[in-house]
Structure 1
Amino acid sequence: MAVSSVKVEGLLGMITVKLQDDNFTKWSYQFQSVLRGYDLFEFFTGEYQCPSKYSVSTETGVTKEITTEYKEWVKKDLALLSLLIATLSDEAMDHIVGCKTSQEAWECLHERFASVSVVRVKQLKSEFHTIQKGTDSVDKCLLRLKAIRDQLVYAGEKITDNDFIIAAISGLPPEFEVIKTVILARDSCISLKDFRAQLLGAERYIESRMTNLTTSMFALCVQGESSHTQEGHGCFQNYEHGEGSNSQEFQGFNGGSGYIGNGGKNFHPQPRNNFNSNNRRYYGNNNHTRSF
């Protein structure tokens, strides 16, 4: 096969994802797409075999002369290995240290990250069916669910679009109850594109309703504070008026204007402190004092 003449170092800018413990599917998809677009991924799969190292003479057989094809292949393969290494995290790089070819490195990574154990498959299935939207947006929740589905599919599990929709609906909060009922009541299947569009529409409606409610509550609070301020001012005025009236009455009582009783005579009460401390009550009949 003819190897693309593109410079390998120019491909690095096209690969924006670094391999981590939890994103092999995404990283592998981008890496393969870029390399296959330039007919270079065959180095990693072993489809483009290394040519013979030494030239062969019809007269003397194998010589000690290294072929040009071999030199070019090794040069290109090492460049691709360097490209692969540049897309790895430090933790992922530990798994390919010592690999001499791009194919060997790819197989090590595939064995480490792509092979999902039975226990891991069970964990992924549990996460898939119990995922919750929480405070995330609809789009972010669907992307989380898709990432889990991709890992399960890569492990050989079959996840249909209907399975995906049911899992997504189960994780929606009560605010989406109406759209959940509408989708579940459908007689025909809904595409993932339409499903996402309906959820986004419901999300916008809920956000708009919450915004209007918040604005209304704020207006009521402002109006309530204004009303309380006016009431408090009126009460304060009434308090001042009442306080003045009480003061006048008290002054008149102490000023000797007379205690009105059946006897009709002036009465000079004791000081107020003594009145309170002796627990006495005064009766107007005959202007006598009775203690009890």
Structure 2
Amino acid sequence: MVTAAQLTILQSPITAFVSTIFTSVNVKLNDSNYLNCHFQMQLMLESNGIMGFVVGSNPCPVPNVFAESGFDSSTSKKCDELLVWKMHDRAVMQLITATLSSVTMSCAIGSKTSKELWARDYLAAAGVYFVDEDIVILALNGLPPEYNTFRCVVRGRESVISLKEFRSQLLAEESIVDNVSVAPSYLTTMAANSGLTMSQAPPLQ
């Protein structure tokens, strides 16, 4: 038998907005139309009473901890509230992502709630943008020691490397690093199979 809570989960009214979103928001968010898109999205969310999901005034219910005595009616009610909230929040996320350009969508991947998804715009609202050079510097600083040579080569370039080229070269370097790390273990296995100790194994060229 389907309970009232389950029926609510199956029939979220928010999902109905997705098919008509572009009657309220006539642009897709990119790096040149933030203020326009944000203003339209805010009006749409507020007019439909769902702004609380993205600003935190309608937070996720705290999951009820199971009592040692077992599962009771209050626990069941809390679980239902949590499921319903998550369903509505996912619908809001779907609504927001429908207004993102393909490039902007890549920045939204990984968001777990509509609030996290909406928060991606805070830096843009403040007029803070990361250019390719800044992203490359941050990425280089986060690389492990095995990439020191690669780091020096990129930093020693006369011209600024594009993000697309940096990604391509980083993937190539990653493949090299992986192959180098496999070589010692391969030689160890070869030596063991031939009855040699590592001291007897031929030196690496």
TM-score by length of 2: 0.48
Name the structure where strand makes up a greater proportion of residues: 1
Q: Which of the pair has more CA radius of gyration?
A: 1
